[in-house]
Amino acid sequence: MKIQSLASILSFGLLLGSLVATTSSADETVTTTTKTTTYSGIVSQIDPTASTIILKSESSPEPTTYSFTKETTFVDPTGRVVSYESMRNAPVTVEYTNDGGRMVVRKVIQTGPAVVVPAQPQVQKRVTETRTVHED
């Protein structure tokens, strides 16, 4: 009898242990952290075909290229959603994440009015031809 009760107690203990192990693993939570970085500059080019936006900044000699997605939001200084076309030549701050070596913009915030880029003067060439005719 003592052997049967000892076996029953051990079986109950194993069953209880497996229930506790199952319960504790169900309570585990997986947390994913995404680091968002900001960068400020003036939008020099937006290419919707390639889904890229290029910023120039006084702090960097080279323009910086970012990718954007359908989830990227473009907002004006008041926070109102606007089209990406309105961002051309405007000072902005971009919020982006690094996704496998690619900088993907999550949000573009216009921080001021677009800078008016002066038009390049049109140069017209005038060709004048002079002919001299000699008569003998």
Query: What CATH number matches the domain at 37-110, 3.10.560.10, 1.10.150.120, 3.30.70.890, 2.40.50.320?
Result: 2.40.50.320
Q: What is the pLDDT along the chain (136 residues), one digit of tens a residue?
A: 555 554 455 455 555 455 444 444 456 787 766 788 899 999 999 999 999 999 999 888 899 999 999 999 999 999 999 999 899 999 999 999 998 889 999 999 999 988 776 666 666 666 666 667 667 6
What's the pLDDT score for residue 13?
Answer: 52
Burial of 131 (0-12, 13-18, 19+ CB in 10 A): exposed
Q: Is 90 helix (H, G, I), strand (E, B) or coil?
A: coil
Q: Please count the other Cβ atoms lying within 10 Å of the Cβ belonging to residue 33.
A: 4
Does the CA dihedral 40-46-48-53 come out positive or negative?
Answer: negative
Euclidean distance between CA atoms 15 and 30, whole angstroms: 27
What's the pLDDT score for residue 116?
Answer: 75
What's the pLDDT score for residue 82?
Answer: 94
Does the CA dihedral 43-46-51-54 come out positive or negative?
Answer: negative
pTM of the complete model:
0.61
Euclidean distance between CA atoms 40 and 72, whole angstroms: 16
Domain positions in the chain: 37-110
What's the pLDDT score for residue 30?
Answer: 76
Q: Write phi, then psi, for 82 (nearest 5 degrees).
A: -130, 175
Are 33 and 70 spatial neighbours (Cβ–Cβ below 8 Å)? no
